[in-house]
Structures are given as C-alpha cells and as structure tokens.
Structure 1
Amino acid sequence: MAAVDALDARILRLLLEQPRTSVREYARILGIARGTLQARLDRLERTGVITGSGPRLSPAALGHPVLAFVHIEVTQGHLDDVGDAIAEVPEIIEAFSITGGGDLMTRVVARDNAHLEDVIQRLIQLPGVVRTRTEVALRERVPHRMLPLIEAVGRAAGPGR
C-alpha cells in the first residue's frame, strides 16, 4: 500500500475537483514546483493510487436507466469460466467475487425491466451458473465518491513531506 501524505491528499482532491486543469495550473494552485507535482503524480500512478483518468459516463444518459445488482451462484470450480463469460456481457459494468450469498456480484444496467430480464436470462444460461438473485436499485443515495476518503487519509497522514 502506498503511503499518501497530506500533500498527496491535496493533489488528489484537486484532481477530483478540477479534472481538466493542466499540471502547470495544479502546481500554481498548490504552490509547489511543477516537477514536484509531476514526480508525485508519477508515484501515485506507479503505486496504483491513481488508476486512470477520463470522463465518468452515465449509463442512464446512454439509454440504460435501470440499475440492478445481480448475485450469481456458480458451480464449484467454474468461477474463472463464468467470470470470463460475464465479461462478454456489455450490460455488466462491474463484477466482483464475493463471500456470503453467491459467488459473484455484478452491477448491471438495462434500458428497461424487460431488457434487464433478457440480460438475466442470458446469465442463467451460461455454463457453470447455478442461479441468480437480482436486486433493482430504486435511487442512488450516495454517488460514487472518493473525496471524503481522501480527506480522511490526508488528515491521518499529517503534513506533507
């Protein structure tokens, strides 16, 4: 795990709040040298703290407003095969191996409930899938976020190096 200090947390916060700003402008806002900022960004990427950059897209705006969490129970020994097969289903936007009720939990988007049913039927027919359980999301209560975590990590780390 990479150590993140208070300056790193400030950098990460700025990246989230102003994602289209240049490195030069970030350095000016933070009051640090551009080379210092670039070295820290490189380290944060190299250590896996920063995993990518680019726009966040809305499935709803792309015509897929229905969101469901589909738990998939898999025949023992077939988890990798089923994982590979569900990676080919475009409506699955995330999937995780889990403990508890089921072996995989997927985040599925669909155009409407009928389309969701079609996706679930496709999943049920995959070799190695025993059963599925679906929960439809009604409303997003806390959108995907990282800022509160970054702030907490920054406070815990103390002043920058």
Structure 2
Amino acid sequence: MAVDALDARILRLLLDQPRTSVREYARILGVARGTLQARLDRMERDGVITAAGPRISPVALGHPVLAFVRIEVTQGHLDDVGDALATVPEIIEAYSITGGGDLLTRVVARDNAHLEDIIQRLIQLPGVVRTRTEIALRERVAHRVLPLVEAVGRRAQESRPAPSGRA
C-alpha cells in the first residue's frame, strides 16, 4: 500500500496529537471529515496504522530492567517455543531472527535477580538449547516512527507530477 503525501500528513498528526478528535484533525489538515475518516479506515485495513491506544511504560509498572535475550532452539521446535514465550508476561516482544540464535526477545524485569529467574524459566522450556542475554544500560533512541513517516511523505511529495504550466 503506497502512502501518499496526505496520508503522511495524517500520520504525522496522529503521532503529534494522538488524543485529538477526527473532526479536529480534518480541520487542521483542511480536508473533509469523511475524506479523513476514509483515509484512516484504509490505513488501518492495510496495516499502516496497527494500534490505537496508550503506550504503557514497563518502568512505571515496576520493571525497570530491560534485556534482550537471544534463544537458540532445537530444529523443528520454533513454533512450540514461540507459543511458550507468549505465556511469560515479562516478555514484551519476540521475533524469529537470522544470525546468532533463532529468537530475539525483549524482556523486562523488576531487578537483576528477577531477570535471572526469567532466564532460568526460559532455559527450562522444551526445545530451548541455550540463551544469551544482553542488558540494556540506557535508551539512546526511543521507539519512534515519525522520522520515517516524514521521509515517506517527502518522497511521496517529490514524486507527485508537477502541475501543467498553462497560461
């Protein structure tokens, strides 16, 4: 699904002002409310907009330790291990990957001892061969999408045909 310049403007506004009404977004953008709603519906249907809700901080929930745990899995057990990971509440993301390991997880914990308990639980899952853990020290770039949206919007704007020069 191609994102055009108006879509990019809508996405930027959603990121900048997530609690604004559709009517207000339409007013700010200078488009009809129906046009805006149709664009939002299409972008949701096409998977461009994947969530609408608050981002909740694991730190505020008492889990300030963040670690990335690579998991090596016995061949043929990737789906089983993935299903088992979904039962561990401290795993907030998991991806199958290439390179060193088969799965990469993002894990939060109350403290280092709690992290060790989580890792021990992971090691005991059927199909897990070994894990490798890296603890995050400080966030350097927070989760963001706005710079990407802006880059896509610029490319869409630049690729628009120039208006004809009739006199």
| Number of equivalenced pairs | 160
Unaligned runs of 5+ in 2: 161-167
Displacement of 1:52: 1.1
For residues 62-114 of structure 1, give each alpha carbon's deviation from its aligned partner in whole angstroms, at most 9, with x where no partner exists. 00000000000000000000000000000000000000000000000000000
Displacement of 1:133: 0.0
Once residues 66 and 15 of structure 2 are traced to their aligned partners in structure 1, the CA distance between those partners, rounded to angstroms, is: 24
Output the TM-score relative to the length of structure 2: 0.94
Once residues 67 and 80 of structure 2 are traced to their aligned partners in structure 1, the CA distance between those partners, rounded to angstroms, is: 22
Output the TM-score relative to the length of structure 1: 0.97
Partner of 2:86: 87
Once residues 34 and 46 of structure 2 are traced to their aligned partners in structure 1, the CA distance between those partners, rounded to angstroms, is: 18
Partner of 1:147: 146
After TM superposition, which residue ranges in structure 1, 4 or more long, deviate above 4 angstroms?
none
Once residues 23 and 121 of structure 1 are traced to their aligned partners in structure 2, the CA distance between those partners, rounded to angstroms, is: 47
Alignment of 1:10-89 (within 5 A): 10-89=9-88
Letter in 2 for 1:94: E
For residues 29-64 of structure 1, give each alpha carbon's deviation from its aligned partner in whole angstroms, at most 9, with x where no partner exists. 001000000010010001000011000010001000
Q: Does 1 or 2 have the higher relative contact order (CA < 8 Å, sep 6+)?
A: 1
Once residues 5 and 108 of structure 1 are traced to their aligned partners in structure 2, the CA distance between those partners, rounded to angstroms, is: 36
Letter in 2 for 1:38: Q
Once residues 62 and 104 of structure 2 are traced to their aligned partners in structure 1, the CA distance between those partners, rounded to angstroms, is: 23
Alignment of 1:106-121 (within 5 A): 106-121=105-120
- Cα RMSD of the aligned pairs, angstroms, is 1.2
Unaligned runs of 5+ in 1: none
Displacement of 1:158: 1.4
Partner of 1:133: 132
Letter in 1 for 2:52: S
Once residues 137 and 8 of structure 1 are traced to their aligned partners in structure 2, the CA distance between those partners, rounded to angstroms, is: 35
Largest Rg, 1 or 2: 2
SS at match of 1:151: helix
